[in-house]
Chains A and B, each alone.
Chain A
Amino acid sequence: NAGVTQTPKFRVLKTGQSMTLLCAQDMNHEYMYWYRQDPGMGLRLIHYSVGEGTTAKGEVPDGYNVSRLKKQNFLLGLESAAPSQTSVYFCASSYSGRRNTEAFFGQGTRLTVV
């Protein structure tokens, strides 16, 4: 089983460039999330989706946009990359939002903005 797959795994961007990170899950999960991981800060929620066609802001949404046109895919976009967006990005999915539901994570995308 593939689980949650993130594309790409590594990327270097120049300031001002745009890019899209793709998250794909094959578990038919309703809920999907994008987090960023920074040293000393753990993982912080950027955006999330509770079903196809829905998106909502998380804790640190500024500078990012998302789309969930298909249930299995959750895209994270950076319209104009900034050095502050250098981070490791994780996508996660779960079949429900209940407190006892495990979230499954992708392998992460290491993004460097120079």
Chain B
Amino acid sequence: AQKITQTQPGMFVQEKEAVTLDCTYDTSDPSYGLFWYKQPSSGEMIFLIYQGSYDQQNATEGRYSLNFQKARKSANLVISASQLGDSAMYFCAMRPGGTSYGKLTFGQGTILTVHP
């Protein structure tokens, strides 16, 4: 079974500063994918970034980067130059390889508040 743990219920950051949202995972599968989603107050789920278990380099997408430490089973999201629009709930999720049928396992989420 897979498990995702996000230990920060809430985080605060000053506008234009960087912030790291923590995510640790547990799985026995050697093949898996890690995702981060953003959920603004309007409620929709927005895909941010993906990291594969076999990827040698950390994923980056614009201001988002994923600090992937496979041995420590962590996949932290780094948001650089925070903006007011980054205030939202952030979810870390994992999708195993093999015959898992693409089922995503989510963490509890972290609420990020960006202060002006």
Instruction: Kindly identify which residue among B32, B43, B45, B109 contacts A99, using a CB–CB cutoff of 8 Å.
Output: B32
- The prevalent SS among residues of B at the interface is loop
Q: Is the CB of A45 within 8 A of B103?
A: yes
Q: Which residue in chain A gives the minimum CB-CB distance to B34?
A: A99
Q: Does B58 make an interface contact (CB < 8 A)?
A: no
**How many chain A residues touch the partner (CB < 8 A)?**
30
Q: Which residue in chain B gives the minimum CB-CB distance to A58?
A: B103
Instruction: Kindly identify which residue among B4, B31, B95, B101 contacts A56, using a CB–CB cutoff of 8 Å.
Output: B101
Q: Is the CB of A98 within 8 A of B45?
A: no
Instruction: Kindly identify which residue among B33, B50, B91 contacts A42, using a CB–CB cutoff of 8 Å.
Output: B91
Give Cα A35–Cα B45 distance, bound, in whole angstroms: 12
Q: Does A101 make an interface contact (CB < 8 A)?
A: yes
Q: Is the CB of B43 within 8 A of A88?
A: yes
Give Cα A92–Cα B9 distance, bound, in whole angstroms: 24
A99 with B103, Cβ < 8 A, contacts A42-B4, A42-B91, A108-B44 known: no
Give Cα A43–Cα B99 distance, bound, in whole angstroms: 21
> Could you tell me which residues of chain B, from 30 to 79, have a CB within 8 Å of some CB in chain A?
31-33, 35, 37, 43-45, 47, 50, 52-53
A45-B103, A45-B104, A99-B100 are known contacts; what are 9 more A-B pairs with Cβ within 8 Å? A40-B9, A42-B91, A48-B101, A50-B101, A56-B101, A97-B101, A99-B102, A103-B47, A103-B104
List 20 A-B pairs, Cβ < 8 Å. Answer: A35-B104, A40-B9, A42-B91, A42-B107, A43-B93, A43-B106, A45-B104, A92-B104, A97-B100, A98-B102, A99-B31, A99-B52, A99-B100, A100-B33, A100-B50, A103-B47, A103-B102, A103-B104, A108-B44, A108-B45
